Amino acid sequence: MSRQINVALIGNPNTGKTSVFNALTGLKQTVSNYPGTTVDKKEGVCRLPRGLKAHIIDLPGTYSLNASSLDENVVVELLLNKNDRNYPDVAVLVTDVENLKRNLLLFTQIKDLKIPTVLVINMADRMKRRGITLDIQHLEKRLKTRIALTSTRKNEGIAELKAIINNYKSLSTEPCLDSSVIDPVYFENLANAFPNQELYKLWLVISQDVNFGRIARKALNVEKFKTKSTSELKRLQQKETIKRYQFINDVLKVGQTIDTSKATDLRSRLDRILTHKVWGYVIFFFILLTIFQAIYDWATVPMDFIDGAFASLSHWLKDVLPSGIATNLLAEGIVPGLGGIVIFIPQIAFLFLFISVLEESGYMSRVVFLMDRIMRRFGLSGKSVVPLISGTACAIPAVMATRNIENWKERLITILVVPFTTCSARLPVYLIIIAIVIPEGRFIWLSYQALALMFLYMLGFASAIVSALILDKILKIKRKSYFVIEMPNYKVPLLRNVLITVVEKTKAFVFGAGKIILAISIILFVLASTGVGKQFNEAESIIRSEVAGQGLTEEDINTRIASHKLEHSIIGVTGKAIEPVIEPLGYDWKIGIAIICSFAAREVFVGTLATIYSVGQDDEDTIKNRMKKEINPVSGVPLFNFASGISLLLFYAFAMQCMSTLAIVKRETNSWKWPLVQLVVMTALAYVVALFVYQILN
């Protein structure tokens, strides 16, 4: 039986910590939340020699143990609580070879907690180009640890790192320096008051800027130890930081040599272009256009294959399985419902691919810096761009990402406007409606459909910005904040990291949506196959008497019977009840049912229509073809025409169609007030805009 140890992966942002995590765990990783928080927790498994298994926790990036954000709180809480099931047997501190001085501050703090700590100096492949040489023996001696020099790009040093982790019990737990010298009398009194506790642990609990450590404070009873004011504690924190940097400077005088003549100026030249007050925006806009064009062009072949495969699967199931309710449920309910989502995997995967490349290359930080100039005018900060851009994947992690915004007003406004950005769950809705109502021609090299998708993304972003401006005027919350962001070095994206990100995020999207869609598909099929009253139960005799003498084929008659039964089923009656409300928008009762069901998750819209339209239809028809054939019974024109299609696109562009987002907003704001405001305002706005556009275009 293999033994297991806990390994905490810790480091500053942009040190390549995720690359090290991926190199150690590969695809054996999961993402969840820390208990009681909305902070992402990445975990993975790594097998070590002699049957040892490492449970690796990739902790949020932090600059020091003086916590100032929710992310940093999580790191400190774990390192202080030995009773936590994830408390590390060994800590792996990942540093960037080009920013070693700054990164070592966190390392010396963790060493003071007497946790066995490995120092990883990452991106070693950049040393020669940057003129950096390291005296590893000197560094190991002064820092009292083992050092792994790694390059995840070249897959170097990972085996050595695994060997050091495997022998973690041999690591020294002696601190690098005596931090109590900043105020010997105070720390002596603290040690006397709590003789059985680690001194630096006590100091961290007492000196934190935010009240995150209630459990630790209660257990240690440090609330009674109030010999210094808050301002005095802050001054001691500053003295501690200075003392640590003095030690680090002394170590690096011998341990690190930098030949500045070898440093290249490529980064500054690129920054002058990519963050230019004019060309920076032009380049960013061009990159977005390219992404959306590629999403359409590259995904066509795999999407056509998936589309045909699911249609064939449904047809094959009806041929080989015995007739009955179970076969109909599988072939006409579950398979079309799931097919309506699986078909969009290629386009969603490409979206995640491009976002991952932008983040890995270091360009996304430049976008954040660039957009701060605009954001300030609308009551936001440059850091709001991160949630707004990550909202193109999913609004839930985007709302979570606002925790890095220190000012409450800016954070609240960002939370409230993030759902306007076009998330990947909207993408299936947009793609299928655009494919039906927007022609396939091109303007220069860009297709009309790609331009339509680009417009919807820009509309979402613009709506978020305008809403932020309005909220900034309405909310009477004082604010005073400063924008600080680190510009990481440019680097060629690591293929392994990009692929792992694409696989993990696409898998999370598909399986997360799939559970909901599977359940809703079954419910919808049952509701569409069940009815009460004469119109449903005697549908066959009613239709046959109506079409007698018209010369229709048996297939046409069966189609009319199925359509009549669907209209008078439970789902049909429900849809008819809400039809008067949505008819002015150009929708029928079927679209109404899909809109209601999609409140569980936007992507359910397509799966719902796939399930509804598959009842009694030609098995070889795909969902898109069925939607194209749908006729408005009142006007006699195609139901999905340009007017109704644009109306539906704009409805989803503005509507809050996601109960999970509402739940996470409630959790982040600790109030039902704000999510309810979001729901009411966004739904009303979506209805009014869709109504106005349909009436004008129609």
Q: Give 4-28 pLDDT, tens digit per residue.
A: 899 999 998 878 888 899 888 876 6
* Greatest mean pLDDT range, 415-419, 470-474, 567-571, 574-578: 415-419
Sort strands 40-47 and 90-96 into parallel, antiparallel or unpaired: unpaired
Q: How many Å apart are CA 640 and CA 7, to the nearest integer?
A: 55
The alpha carbon torsion through 570, 572, 574, 577 (nearest 10 deg) reads: -140
Above 70 in pLDDT, residue 483?
Answer: no
Above 90 in pLDDT, residue 502?
Answer: no
> Is 7 contained in some domain?
yes
**Predicted local confidence at residue 404, as pLDDT:** 63
Above 60 in pLDDT, residue 339?
Answer: yes
Q: b/e per residue, 413-429, with b = 16+ CB within 10 A?
A: bbbbbbbbbbbbbbbbb
**E strand or H helix at 631:** none
Sort strands 90-96 and 117-122 into parallel, antiparallel or unpaired: parallel
Above 50 in pLDDT, residue 615?
Answer: no
Residue 383 DSSP symbol: G
* Greatest mean pLDDT range, 20-34, 78-92, 609-623: 78-92
> Is 161 contained in some domain?
yes
Mean pLDDT, range 636-641, rounded to an integer: 77
Q: How many Å apart are CA 209 and CA 66, to the nearest integer?
A: 7
E strands present in 383-493: 442-443, 446-447
The dihedrals phi and psi of 662, each to the nearest 5 degrees, come to -60, -40
> Is 593 contained in some domain?
no
Mean pLDDT, range 37-63, rounded to an integer: 80
Q: How many Å apart are CA 364 and CA 13, to the nearest integer?
A: 13
E strands present in 296-343: none
* CB within 8 Å of 400: residues ≥ 6 apart: 38, 39, 40, 664, 668
Q: b/e per residue, 479-489, with b = 16+ CB within 10 A?
A: eeeeeebeebe
> Is 18 contained in some domain?
yes
Sort strands 132-134 and 29-33 into parallel, antiparallel or unpaired: unpaired
Q: How many Å apart are CA 253 and CA 238, to the nearest integer?
A: 23
Whether the Cβ atoms of residue 669 and residue 675 lie closer than 8 Å to each other: yes
Domain total in the chain: 1
Above 80 in pLDDT, residue 82?
Answer: yes
Radius of gyration from C-alpha coordinates of the chain: 30
3-state helix, strand, coil in the chain (%, to 5): 65, 10, 25
69: CATH? 3.40.50.300
**Predicted local confidence at residue 695, as pLDDT:** 92
Whether the Cβ atoms of residue 115 and residue 78 lie closer than 8 Å to each other: no
Nearest 5 degrees, angle CA 663-CA 669-CA 675? 45
Q: How many Å apart are CA 584 and CA 578, to the nearest integer?
A: 12
Above 90 in pLDDT, residue 684?
Answer: yes
> Is 594 contained in some domain?
no
Q: How many CB atoms lie within 10 A of CB 538?
A: 12
Whether the Cβ atoms of residue 513 and residue 425 lie closer than 8 Å to each other: yes
In angstroms, how far is CA 475 from the centroid of its own chain? 27
**Predicted local confidence at residue 597, as pLDDT:** 75
The dihedrals phi and psi of 443, each to the nearest 5 degrees, come to -110, 110
pLDDT-derived band at 617 (thresholds 50, 70, 90) equals very low
Q: Which residue has the higher pLDDT, 511 or 473?
A: 473
> For the segment 175-228, what is each residue's pLDDT rounded down to a tens digit?
999 888 888 888 888 888 888 788 888 888 887 743 344 434 444 555 556 567
Q: How many Å apart are CA 608 and CA 177, to the nearest integer?
A: 63
Task: Look up the domain containing 251 and give its range.
Answer: 3-262
> For the segment 225-241, what is each residue's pLDDT rounded down to a tens digit?
656 777 888 888 889 99
Provide, rounded to the nearest whole percent, the portion of the chain with pLDDT above 70.
Answer: 83
> Is 377 contained in some domain?
no
| Poorest-pLDDT segment among 179-188, 295-304, 384-393 | 384-393
pLDDT-derived band at 248 (thresholds 50, 70, 90) equals very high
* Greatest mean pLDDT range, 246-250, 493-497, 606-610, 642-646: 246-250
Residue 39's nearest CA partner among 74, 3, 86 is 74
Mean pLDDT, range 343-366, rounded to an integer: 79
**Predicted local confidence at residue 9, as pLDDT:** 93
pLDDT-derived band at 296 (thresholds 50, 70, 90) equals low
| Poorest-pLDDT segment among 343-357, 377-391, 427-441 | 377-391
> Is 358 contained in some domain?
no
Q: How many residues does the chain have?
A: 698
In angstroms, how far is CA 81 from the centroid of its own chain? 28
Q: How many Å apart are CA 93 and CA 407, to the nearest integer?
A: 29
**Predicted local confidence at residue 211, as pLDDT:** 38
Read off the amino acid at residue 144. Answer: K
pTM exceeds 0.85 for this model = no
Residue 683's nearest CA partner among 660, 652, 659 is 652
> Is 56 contained in some domain?
yes
Q: How many Å apart are CA 189 and CA 185, to the nearest integer?
A: 6
The alpha carbon torsion through 387, 388, 390, 396 (nearest 10 deg) reads: 70
> For the segment 252-294, what is each residue's pLDDT rounded down to a tens digit?
999 988 876 655 567 778 888 888 888 888 888 888 778 767 7
